[in-house]
Amino acid sequence: MSALQAHMPALQVIVPMLSAPLVLLLKERRLCWAATTLTSLCSFAIAVALCMGVLAGGESYYLMGSWPDPYGIELGVDAFSVLLLLVVNGASTLVLMGAFGSLNQDIEGHRQPLFYSAWLLAVAGLNGILVTADAFNIFVFMEISALASYVLVSAGPNRRALPAVFKYLIMGTIGATFYLIGIGLIYLMTGTLNLADMEIRIHLVADQKPILVAAGFITIGLALKAAVFPLHVWLPNAYTYAPNMVTVFLAACATKVSLYILLRFDFFVFQPNLAGHDLQFAYFLMPLSLLAVLVASTVAMFEPNLKRMLAWSSVAQIGYITLGASLVSLAGITAGLLHMFNHALAKAALFLALACLGMSVRHLRLENIAGIARQMPWTMAAFVLAGLSLIGVPGTAGFISKWYLISAVFESGPWGVALAGVIVISSLMAVVYIWRVVEVAYFGSLETGSTTGATIAEAPLPLLLATWTAVALNFYFGFAASLPVELSTRAARILLGHIP
Amino acid sequence: MSSAATILACLLIPLAGTIAIMLAARVGDNLRETATLVTAGALAWTVWSLLPEVMAGERPHLYLFEIVPGLDVAFTVEPLGMLFAALASSLWIVNSIYSIGYMRGNKESKQTRFYVFFALSLAATIGIAFAANLFTLFLFYEALTLLTYPLVSHKGDEKTLRSARVYLGILMTTSIGLLLPAIIWTYWVAGSGEFTPGGILADHLQGPALGLLLALFVFGIGKAAVMPVHRWLPAAMVAPTPVSALLHAVAVVKAGVFSVTKIIVYIFGVDHLFDTPSSGWLLYAAAFTIIVASLVALRQQNLKRLLAYSTIAQLSYVIMAAAILKPLAEIGASVHMVAHAFGKITLFFAAGAIYTASKKTEVFQLAGIGRRMPWTMTAFTIGALSMIGVPPTGGFVSKWFILAGAFQADNYVAIFTIIVSTALNAAYFLPIVYLAWFGREVEGAGPEHGEAPLASVIALTITAALTILFFVFNGPVIELESQIFGAPS
């Protein structure tokens, strides 16, 4: 067991990556699904094992092929990576468990093996980003996960997914290219791609122009991938037109992993070495975060398409995460990272509830779900409870991150009150856009809604179970928040530990 | 049963009750109503069983769990919370009897949902009453807002939905926008939010900031309905009358003023607040609310809206009494919670009984109704007298204490406000009473009718009797509350 334990960081990537082509060989739809789910479950188990290792002993490193470290490829797992490994693999597993019915409806039979294979590649790519300690490796895994996600998004029956995915592809490629140009310049100046090595060596050339240009390219490129406002334009449509289950998965983890690289790069490499970078970071990111929170929440309040509404809400929630990080304090970063975890929980539950609705309602628009709570009581109850978590009602996971975030901004000085004001206002906006749906679904009259003529019935049991598991997790982590809080506090310490 | 287990039982009984109600509803309506009554009875019995210990000076405590370091879900029974819990749980029994008559008499739909959410609301109320710290209080406060929403929007038509939106909107906006920052601020400066005799802020926060924090708390607790955050209460009157009676005359609104009082006594500390001039505004805000709400009530034609504005004024009596910051007035605040609860629930019961029997909702329609519904209108009259503060009703006792406290503090603003508002209360209640007994019924204005269903009449007779009994038997309440504020002189 201990021998296996040592290889866990590598297995985290290898298991889903090698399973991807194997799934392709299984022609039978249900078998493909079962194999994918099982693989994802294994991957989640590995993430849990890594998490326990980190909680017990701290960080673990792994040298690929036993090459010594600035020369070979190094993998490193610490509290920060573990936090997101749990999110990525947990979300993937939970979604897959409930997904069969919904995916079978959305995706043509002969494409399903390809689809599941792409799903595993996406998971492998995201895991790879999270465990590697090498800047070029990050690029490779970023491209693997991105290409796989383009396939996933465009796999649905909705033709409008194609222009959406094209925009996503162009933006994603620009982001990845910018990142590549950035690390190219850094490699030119320092001769290393290992992040830890880079941190030490960049010091000698920190005042040179190419390094500053590289910092610019890397930051902008990653911000584009992470949908940091105002580089978020690809996100709403990609989420809206993707198959419902894909939306759940992407919304829970895709942008967060890009944010992970952004923060890791910034705090490990740039903050300790570039003069005045910490202030630039804070003063750029904070106003953008505030704008994201306010503008995106406002758009969400007036959006009739439910998936796009939640997508805009995601843009706003990313603003919370970057707001916390932009405070550059232990409390602030902890709050931001904690919100990565908690927002993933809330959004996954909400999109899962939408996926349940999507089983009966083709176009998830507000007017099409009038009075639907009578036919789908369990789905709508899940939606309401998950919505409470998004709003941040006490007793839910969303409340915990809001509590930490507001405490952090109070601590940040005289501006803190204004920041707290923004957080509070956007929470109230969340009340508005969630409650709009609740009112229509519970009190709307069916006559106007049932134009499609399709019979509306409760979603299949596995999907409902997945949804309610997500809802239950929102409440569980609302009352027993010590695990995510512990992980994000440690992660924040690690990030801040690199600033002199 | 240990006292910690008893507290847990108080929280779990209503939850168990909801399951029982849902299961019983499959068998039949009578069994469902029995389940409600049994749950209410069991809850009241359990809550009352804590009383001897609290009377003896003990503070039963239940620690549930820690969410993150510093944030606990925990409960402590202290005199204020004991009083509030006993009041709400006991009146729930009476209210359940009344509900049976009202809901069946009006053939309301979705009665099972109604009883289920009623029981859940009571669980949240008990949670508020026994909360040992600000976080736990906030947890149940928000739960109560959300759980009462289905009750307020019960009818489900467009007009009801609009009002329910106002209800939820104001209560959520104030609680997330003002109360949550206030709570986080308190935890941040004081390092905890534990309700502690003497307060926790004395060493941490002084001067104008204290007044600001008080404002965040008072307006953040929208359920206390201090103007200008009072609009949700008239909006909530679209709910079925039993909801207005128990929740919007007792449980929800009293949760508001109870929380304000508890925060003043156990978080700010009465003495600390008295020494801080910047907290003086609260008295004026409450006095303003009392006078203006009474003036608005004068102009109301709809009986339930009139009662709602009367409630807003009476709630601010409690706030004003607490803001006098003298022991006698603080006792007056808690006594007024009880006295007003008995009186106002009677008035709402009567309004609902009138609606059930005759579908009349406006004041002018009540001419001569006293002859058709003598029991109901007698109870109404007793309730009205208690609102005005005429002996021998409970309202007189609380006014006596508040006035005594005001004199103790030489607070002439409070004294003046009480006198003026007494006159205003008389001015809007006595014409109704006169009209009902001595007015001439318009011929052919409505259907022939007699008294409301028996269950409703029994309920309102009980609460009217309580209103009068409280005039005589208020000793235990005063003895209980004296434990926190020092013996009455």
ipTM value for the complex: 0.84
pLDDT interval class at A92 (50, 70, 90): very high
Q: Can the peptide bond before residue B242 be classed as cis, meaning omega within 30 degrees of 0?
A: no
Distance from C-alpha of B237 to C-alpha of B164, rounded to nearest angstrom: 9
pLDDT of amino acid B487: 44
| Section B182-209 average pLDDT | 86
Task: Write out the DSSP string of B282-328.
Answer: HHHHHHHHHHHHHHHHHT--BHHHHHHHHHHHHHHHHHHHHHH-SHH
Q: Do A424 and B65 touch (CB under 8 A)?
A: no
Q: Name which of A399, A440, A477 to mutate to probe chain B: the one with the most chain B Cβ atoms within 10 A of its Cβ.
A: A399
Nearest Cα residue to A422 out of A309, A295, A260, A255: A295
Give CA angle at B386 (B384, B387), nearest 5°. Answer: 65
Give the model confidence (pLDDT) of A135-178 as tens digits.
Answer: 899 999 999 999 999 999 988 887 888 888 999 999 999 999 99
Strand partners, A61: A76
- Rounded CA gap, B419 and B251, in Å? 27
| DSSP 8-state code for residue B441 | P
Decide if pLDDT at A131 tops 70.
Answer: yes
Mean pLDDT of chain A: 88
Strand residue runs (E) in A17-149:
60-63, 74-77
Contact A428 B168 (CB under 8 A): no
- Interface contact flag, A394 B153, Cβ < 8 Å: no
Compare all CA atoms of chain A with the CA of B179 and give the residue at the minimum distance: A424
Q: What angle do CA B59, B61, B65 make, to 5 degrees?
A: 160
What number is the average pLDDT over the span B450-464?
86
C-alpha dist (Å) from residue B404 to A169, B291, B399, B488: 76, 20, 8, 10
For B76, the enclosing helix (H) or strand (E) is strand B71-76
* Mutate: best of A419, A479, A490, partner B, most B CBs <10 A: A479
Percent of chain B with pLDDT over 70: 98
Query: In the prediction, which pLDDT does A353 show?
Result: 93
Q: Which residue of B has its CA nearest to A475?
A: B67
Decide if A388 and B185 are in contact by the 8 Å CB cutoff.
no
Residue B185 has, within 13 A of its CA and on its CB side, a CA count of: 23
Q: Which of B66, B156, B188 is opposite residue A443, by nearest beta carbon? A: B156
Rounded average pLDDT over B14-25: 91
Query: CB of A278 within 8 A of CB of A231?
Result: no
Examine the pLDDT at B413 and tell me if it is beyond 50: yes
User: What is the model's pLDDT at position A28?
Assistant: 84
CA distance B303 to B295: 15
Q: What is the pLDDT of residue A447?
A: 54
**Are B142 and A393 within 8 A, CB to CB?**
yes
Q: What is the pLDDT of residues B341-396, one digit of tens each?
A: 999 999 999 998 888 888 888 888 888 888 888 889 999 999 999 999 888 888 89
Question: What's the pLDDT score for residue A454?
Answer: 58
Model pLDDT for residues B274-333, shown as the tens digit of each residue: 888 888 888 999 999 999 999 999 888 888 889 999 999 999 999 998 888 887 888 888
Q: Which residues of A touch B169 (CB under 8 A)?
A: 431
Segment of A199-213, A256-270, B445-459 carrying the highest mean pLDDT: A256-270
The yes-or-no verdict on residue A448 having pLDDT over 70 is: no
Question: Is pLDDT of B161 > 90?
Answer: no
Residue A353 CB-half CA count within 13 A: 31
Identity of residue A57: G
Q: Which residues of B touch A479 (CB under 8 A)?
A: 65, 67, 73
Nearest Cα of chain A lies from the Cα of B306 at a distance, in angstroms, of: 28
What is the pLDDT of chain B when averaged over all its residues?
87
Determine the pLDDT at residue B1: 65
Instruction: Categorise residue A191: left if φ over 0, alpha if ψ from -120 to 50, beta otherwise.
Output: left
Provide the pLDDT for residue B445. Answer: 61
CA-to-CA distance for B235 and B407, rounded, in angstroms?
36
Distance of CA B103 to the CA centre of its chain: 22
Q: With pLDDT > 90 as the criterion, what percentage of chain B qualifies?
A: 32
pLDDT for residue A449 is more than 50: no
**Binary contact (A424, B73; C-beta < 8 A):** no
Interface test with A, best of B67, B159, B172, B188 (most A CBs within 10 A): B67
